[in-house]
Structure 1
Amino acid sequence: MKRRRLQTFVIGLVVLCSTTTVLLALALLSAASDPFDKAHAAQRGAHTVAAFDTTKVSPDRLARTARRPGVEAAAGPFGQAVVDIPKDWLWTAGGTLTVVGRADPAGPVDRIELLEGRWATAPGEIVVNWSAQGSPGPELLGTELRTPGGATLAVVGFAASMSRSASAWVSPEQMAALHPTSAQMLYRFTDSSTEARLNASLARAVKGLPEGSLTGAQTHLTLKQAFSALADSYLPFVTLFGVLGLLVSTLIVGNVVSGAVVSGYRHIGVLKALGFTPNQVVAVYLTMISVPAVTGCALGTLAGNALAGPVLKVAFTGIDVGRAAVGDISPWVSAACLVGMPALVLLAALIPALRAHRLSAARAISAGGAPRTGRGLRVQRLLGSTRLPRPVSLGLGQPFARPARTLLTMAAIVLGVTTVTLSTGLTSTMVAYGNVGREDTGARIHVMTGGSGDDRTPPRLSDPQIEERLRSLPGAEGVRARALSQANTAGQTQPVFADFYRGDDSLYEHTIVEGRAPVAAGEIVAGPAFLSQRGLKLGDRVTVGLNGRRITATVVGQLIEGNARALEATWESFARLAPGTPATEYTVRLTPGADARAYAEAVEALDPGLRASVADSGNAGTTTVVTFSAVFTVLLSLVASLGVFNTVLLNTRERRRDLGMLKSIGMTPRQVVAMTVTSVAGLGAVGGLLGIPLGIVAHRLVVDNVGVVDLPEHVKDVWHVTGLAAMLLAGVAIAVLGALAPARSAARMTIASVLHTE
């Protein structure tokens, strides 16, 4: 190790980077499933939450479905009703609340965990489902909700259900007063591994019930998909970088050990002459590798654990996690890295180290002291017959003298170029994605009504007057009004966030990736996560309810992205569901170059009930991906260059006699540098040609598997001739960067110092 400080540093660095990335990938993989599965199992969560029309089927018949084949356990039937809630009640957007009547939170299925207060046991009491992490605190207990029928419900507790079987619960007596027309059954099935098997199990359970009595069902796999949707979108990206890091680690370690064995023949022979057994000689080289590998692995595990918290926070932002403990890395993740990475490194080192195992002492000493028979002479003679400058022809022929080492070096360059290409493509895609909807370069202003914080001053101006004034202010290009409500969809226990828009339709121009924008009442659009988790596609119809009114809506378009629980509709739809309700937010699109700060100040001067802010053009996901890929690309490119450095250093040490003889017949230091750099520049060019298509394929693999975003083709198509040429030069740059230092060192060697032992 002391004789090979640089190689030791290279191995430690590459193992550190690889361990960090692999740990992040494993942490995301674990967080996407383990916390949900553990919390769901602890609460005996329902595999399927089914809703039934009580006008078509009696409670007794529903109760008998619990004894059908394939049903492991069941709870219910529970009365179910939809209650309207006002805006800002418990910080909600207003709209509807799905309420279920249960006598207690226990039972064979969906054991609800109380977070604050107590269970609702009498009329006039309600327990609210708290889906965020932590507890809301006791301060909100006692909050009242007035139902449309005139009854007042007081919040006596907050609870959490991993089954999301309801938004709130009341006692059976209170539910009877709400006059429910639907009932809920909670099932656990013996076979719940896939969505198809869950549907088949439910079909067997409800077989024989009147047609149309089953109005909807929600499976735990849908909830699990919603839970991990954002984390799953980061997983392909992080995993791919982790795999690249592992491959580079293996190549670099193999290259270093192979070079150490070849350049240490004399040392190996002396060790064996002194009595070292073949296994002990192998152990010498494995120990040389294991120390930096274990050190790099330990530091990488620490770095990965430090980075995992922020990465998981971004990955689960806005996700309803319930009682799932997100943020704590499972011990097996760190253990797998601490054991697996050193084992992989030692396995990569063992193959070239076995070469020292086979050498006899006499052969090793003679091979280490005598000049080696040249290889690649035929290629060298062929290049020498060309008109290329002699240093260039000599340099181009050098890789053929050590074909195995050349292949390892070129593989490291290929992976370096692949990483640079992948990172460049991801950065270009994410920047283009961040600019979607901002192609006009104009700033966006968000205007809220009703003030903020403790200042809840209502606006003096009416909804139409506000929109008119916003359009009339200097710099305004377009205005879009927005109203947000919690609505319910047929067959779903969880509410959806419905955004209703009026005005500037140009904001839809670049955000619809399939279909079209909604233009009439009863037309909706949503993001890929919303549609996939509900099994919807373009042309499908869904019933949306709000304030006791219902409309049948058609899916006419798919957004580039969107909340998994949110849909967007027209103002005409909102007028049918909540007539006369004003907008609560406005988005103003300014002309390019307009002063956004001045416009925001002018808005607040219009009415004390308006609050304006300049919309942030940043995106946490974009920043995370770009930063991570940039840092890892720099590290991996540096490591690939260090691999080239190691190869060139070994080559120059092995060719000391040749260099001395070349200098003695007139080769200048500059020609030595040119020859040495040329020996790897060709590898860099070939590595670039091979790495570019691999990087393009890797980029496409990542961008096509981002579940929460459906990227349009123009965002994915980021490759141009100039960019590809730069990627080709990246391979040459990696090779030249790694070769410069040993090339200059070789150029400074004197003839006497090289040939004095001849």
Structure 2
Amino acid sequence: MIFKVAWRNIWRAKVRSFIVIGSIAVGIWAGLLIIGFSFGMNNERTASAIGTTTGHAQIHHQDFDAEPLSTAVIADSATVVALREKVEALPFVSGTAQRTVLGGMINSAKSARAVRIMGVWPEEERLQTTLADYIVDGDFFEDSGRNRLLIGEKLAKRLGLKLRSKVVLTFQDAEGNLSRASFRISGIYKTLNATWDEFHVYVHHEDLEKTIGAPLVHEVLVRFEETVDTEEKAGALAAAMPVGLAVKSWKQVRPELGFADDMMAIMLVLVLGIIMMALLFGIINNMLMAILERRRELGMLMAVGMNKRKLFLMILVETLMLGFVGGPIGILLGDLSTRA
């Protein structure tokens, strides 16, 4: 009986009911839209970092992270090949790429900056990263020149460099001695992470080996099939590694991204909580106004025998019914908006 009366009461005042239903739908739609937009931006930033620079996990010598010296190599070339085959045999791994990683200085006619020099195998890098898609000028080691260098757009501007400009790199060779070599800029890249662009330069591993005297592999980038449960997969990968090697997930390699992920989740809960609280107070306000407008009607119901408990239950049922009508509409609008 109460449900029947409550349902009829809702549609006796259509304008008021549609206002409440609309406020519920709009509130839920706005909350879902904000959450979807924020998650989309965060996921795009994370996917860009994983795809262009870090991969899902990285393998280094256990001493490399403490002090990234040129001598802290993973192993000799043959052992690295065997290691990569072992890693790629794991069911959740889609591929690997090896890199030479050296700390050094880049000098131009205008200035000098500390940089991290990445010696890459271009074919592998194209398969396992999307860095080649972020080239804004030049190419990704496609010409047959020698001593080619790929530089971030922000770093190039700071050093006053452009395509075909000449720079000098200073770094450690295979014995740990300082070496210098001239390189010519063959490409300029710009990722979504300006900090990375300002600190990392890429060279062809063959050009680097001519100066350092040996093929050095300091890093093996690992790509997983999916970006889910990366910490567990990194743990399984670490368990398969021989003694002396360390595995880091992308959250450990780039802790600022992991921190941003965690903070985003907290902020979204807070934002959604604020929206829902505002929505709740709006509904309560509308229902109080409805009660004040219906004082005579409610008084008549009490006069014919309805007690306070049943009266409260009827108003509560009306509110829930309005929510059950407005809620799905808001969810549907939110789903359509986020998909679009």
State whether TM-score is above 0.5.
yes
Contact 1:446 1:614 in 2 (8 A): yes
2:84 corresponds to 1:446:
no
Which residue pairs with 1:720 in the alignment? 339
**Matching residue within 201, 208, 218 for 1:585:** 218
* Deviation, structure 1 residue 467: 2.3
Amino acid corresponding to residue 269 of structure 2 in structure 1: A
Q: Deviations over 1:42-65 (max 9, x none)?
A: xxxxxxxxxxxxxxxxxxxxxxxx
SS of equivalent residue, structure 1 residue 494? strand
Which residue pairs with 1:465 in the alignment? 78
Distance 2:41 2:324 in 1: 30
Amino acid corresponding to residue 649 of structure 1 in structure 2: L
Structure with bigger gyration radius:
1
Q: Deviations over 1:584-607 (max 9, x none)?
A: 5212426759975465355434xx
Distance 1:543 1:457 in 2: 24
SS of equivalent residue, structure 1 residue 512? helix
Contact 2:51 2:129 in 1 (8 A): no
Which residue pairs with 1:39 in the alignment? none
2:99 corresponds to 1:502:
no
* Deviation, structure 1 residue 643: 2.8
Q: Deviations over 1:182-233 (max 9, x none)?
A: xxxxxxxxxxxxxxxxxxxxxxxxxxxxxxxxxxxxxxxxxxxxxxxxxxxx
SS of equivalent residue, structure 1 residue 619? helix
2:190 corresponds to 1:552:
no
Which residue pairs with 1:478 in the alignment? 96
SS of equivalent residue, structure 1 residue 583? coil
Which residue pairs with 1:522 in the alignment? 148
Distance 2:248 2:190 in 1: 27
Q: How does 1:591-602 map to 2 (within 5 A)?
A: 596-597=234-235, 599-601=237-239
Which residue pairs with 1:434 in the alignment? 46
Which residue pairs with 2:32 in the alignment? 420
* Deviation, structure 1 residue 673: 4.6
Q: Residues 428 and 652 of structure 1: is their aligned pair in 2 closer, same or farther, counting only changes over 3 Å?
A: same
Distance 2:324 2:112 in 1: 63
Q: Residues 603 and 632 of structure 1: is their aligned pair in 2 closer, same or farther, counting only changes over 3 Å?
A: same
Contact 2:97 2:220 in 1 (8 A): yes
* Deviation, structure 1 residue 553: 0.6
Contact 1:488 1:545 in 2 (8 A): yes
Q: How does 1:340-489 map to 2 (within 5 A)?
A: 390-398=8-16, 414=26, 417-436=29-48, 437=50, 444-448=57-61, 463-473=76-86, 475-476=88-89, 477-489=95-107
Contact 1:449 1:584 in 2 (8 A): no
Distance 1:588 1:458 in 2: 19
Q: Deviations over 1:557-583 (max 9, x none)?
A: 43343523333333244346x342553
2:202 corresponds to 1:568:
yes
SS of equivalent residue, structure 2 residue 113? coil
* Deviation, structure 1 residue 450: 5.1
Distance 1:611 1:533 in 2: 36
SS of equivalent residue, structure 2 residue 150? strand
Q: Give me the CA root mean square deviation.
A: 4.7
Which residue pairs with 2:166 in the alignment? 543
Which residue pairs with 1:647 in the alignment? 286
Higher relative contact order (CA 8 A, sep 6+): 2
Count of aligned residue pairs for this structure pair: 292
**Matching residue within 260, 274, 279 for 1:621:** 260
SS of equivalent residue, structure 2 residue 59? strand
Contact 1:446 1:588 in 2 (8 A): yes
* Deviation, structure 1 residue 686: 8.4
Contact 1:486 1:546 in 2 (8 A): yes
Contact 2:10 2:17 in 1 (8 A): no
**Matching residue within 299, 303, 315 for 1:660:** 299
Identical residues among aligned pairs (%): 14
Contact 2:98 2:217 in 1 (8 A): no
Contact 1:513 1:559 in 2 (8 A): yes
Q: Residues 589 and 575 of structure 1: is their aligned pair in 2 closer, same or farther, counting only changes over 3 Å?
A: same
Distance 2:319 2:224 in 1: 57
Amino acid corresponding to residue 486 of structure 1 in structure 2: G
* Deviation, structure 1 residue 486: 2.1
Distance 2:221 2:82 in 1: 11
Distance 2:86 2:264 in 1: 38
Q: How does 1:118-137 map to 2 (within 5 A)?
A: none
Contact 2:117 2:200 in 1 (8 A): yes
Contact 1:488 1:544 in 2 (8 A): yes
* Deviation, structure 1 residue 509: 3.1
Q: Residues 595 and 653 of structure 1: is their aligned pair in 2 closer, same or farther, counting only changes over 3 Å?
A: closer
Contact 2:149 2:201 in 1 (8 A): no
TM-score (norm 1): 0.32
Distance 1:446 1:692 in 2: 41
Contact 1:499 1:568 in 2 (8 A): yes
Q: Residues 572 and 458 of structure 1: is their aligned pair in 2 closer, same or farther, counting only changes over 3 Å?
A: closer
* Deviation, structure 1 residue 420: 3.4
Distance 1:460 1:534 in 2: 30
Distance 1:519 1:448 in 2: 31
Amino acid corresponding to residue 133 of structure 2 in structure 1: I
TM-score (norm 2): 0.63
Q: Which runs of 5+ in 1 are unaligned?
A: 1-388, 401-405, 697-718, 722-758
Contact 1:480 1:501 in 2 (8 A): yes
Q: How does 1:687-702 map to 2 (within 5 A)?
A: none
Contact 1:524 1:553 in 2 (8 A): yes
* Deviation, structure 1 residue 445: 3.7
SS of equivalent residue, structure 2 residue 118? strand
Distance 2:16 2:280 in 1: 18
* Deviation, structure 1 residue 502: 2.8
Q: Which runs of 5+ in 2 are unaligned?
A: 1-6, 90-94, 171-179, 227-231, 252-256
Distance 1:511 1:624 in 2: 30
Contact 1:512 1:559 in 2 (8 A): no
Contact 2:74 2:217 in 1 (8 A): no
Amino acid corresponding to residue 168 of structure 2 in structure 1: G
